[in-house]
């Protein structure tokens, strides 16, 4: 059942499989996932050759980390990469209810933002305990940014910079406790800000460099390529709008986005290409990108993603998308 997903792209000595697994669904994003199904999903990803797994304390309010660790614990530790995130401390809270923050059946822990030096170190240690692993390979600062925090952004940004959050990450990297540091965000602008103050190894950018939108191309993606900062593509379907749902940025898609997707879909149909295949393959052409990590709600969806990821696509498709005005003329495109 193995495919080209086993091909790796190396950065900072880390072998990323081109296709990874985003593990938000292990935490029950929008829909519940049974424990046995979560473990089977990771096993199926392994059988497909996937060796990069991304999780976070926030996913299912610690549920995803616990399940991923259980699924990987018997595997040879040097055979895979795990990334998790810092920026939220999870505190016990019996008032947590099903459906909070989109998690169908979250565990009784409530997130509290903390980007300080001590908060980062505590978050890292807590994640190791939940995962049951002796190390994680990559730590991403989770959901820092103006869109996320609004008027509180300056406060949290100060925690990360003057408050020593970045210093804690650099300390962990220097000690060898982790191999790489970065940001895991939905906003490309804050990544550009972070690159001015910290030597990031990699970035997990969700939804901001996709077949639907490429505004980050020149100001960030090309900058990362020049600097040797690896980019992991999260949210390649823009929360589902590129995979057949009406969700964009986790909400109902606005009319302008729906219309743009209709144009993209029409071009794909003209070439008898699944829209999802084009969405998964497009960002991989950029030289900064090392992996794409769509999630999956079940094994069938996981296998379908892997098939779309490897499906041969005609070079003429990309030219047609450019003519339709939905693809940046400077964006690198996959070779046929």
Residues annotated as catalytic are: 54, 59, 85
Residue 219 gets the label, from left (phi > 0), alpha (psi -120 to 50) or beta, of: alpha
Q: Which residues pair with 53 in a beta bridge?
A: 21, 82
Chain Cα centroid distance, residue 41: 17
3-class secondary structure, 10: strand
Q: What is the dihedral of CA 135, 44, 239, 80, to 10 degrees?
A: 20
Rounded distance, CA 332 to CA 282, Å? 8
β-strands 289-292, 81-86: how paired?
Answer: unpaired
Separation in Å, CA 166 to CA 111, 169, 184: 20, 5, 14
Residue 238 gets the label, from left (phi > 0), alpha (psi -120 to 50) or beta, of: left
Rounded distance, CA 316 to CA 11, Å? 31
Kind plus residue range of the DSSP H or E element containing 234: strand 230-234
Number of H helices, E strands in the chain: 12, 14
């Amino acid at each position: 059942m193995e495919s080209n997903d086993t091909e790796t792209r190396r950065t900072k000595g880390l072998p990323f499989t081109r296709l990874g697994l985003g593990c938000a669904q292990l935490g029950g994003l929008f829909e519940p996932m049974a424990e046995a199904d979560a473990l089977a999903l990771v096993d199926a990803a392994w059988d497909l050759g996937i060796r990069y797994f991304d999780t976070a304390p926030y996913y299912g309010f610690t549920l995803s980390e616990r399940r991923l660790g259980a699924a990987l614990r018997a595997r040879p530790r040097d055979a895979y990469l795990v990334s998790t995130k810092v920026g939220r401390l999870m505190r016990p809270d019996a008032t947590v209810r099903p459906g909070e923050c989109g998690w169908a059946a979250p565990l009784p822990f409530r997130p509290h933002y903390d980007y300080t030096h001590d908060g980062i170190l505590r978050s890292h240690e807590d994640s190791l305990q939940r995962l049951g692993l002796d190390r994680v390979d990559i730590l991403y600062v989770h959901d820092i940014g103006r869109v996320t925090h609004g008027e509180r952004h300056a406060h949290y940004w100060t925690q990360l910079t003057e408050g020593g959050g970045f210093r804690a990450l650099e300390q962990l990297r220097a000690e060898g406790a982790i191999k790489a540091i970065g940001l895991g965000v939905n906003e490309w602008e804050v990544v550009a800000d972070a690159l001015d103050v910290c030597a990031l190894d990699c970035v997990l950018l969700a939804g901001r460099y996709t077949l639907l939108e490429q505004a980050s191309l020149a100001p960030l993606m090309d900058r990362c390529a020049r600097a040797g900062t690896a980019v992991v593509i999260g949210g390649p379907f823009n929360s589902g709008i590129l995979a057949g749902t009406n969700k964009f940025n986790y909400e109902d898609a606005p009319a302008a986005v729906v219309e743009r997707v209709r144009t993209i879909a029409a071009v794909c149909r003209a070439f008898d290409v699944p829209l999802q295949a084009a969405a998964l393959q497009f960002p991989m052409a950029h030289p900064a990108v090392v992996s794409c990590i769509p999630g999956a709600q079940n094994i069938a969806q996981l296998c379908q993603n892997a098939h779309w990821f490897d499906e041969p696509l005609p070079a003429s498709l990309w030219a047609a998308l450019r003519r339709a005005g939905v693809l940046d003329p400077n964006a690198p495109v996959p070779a046929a």
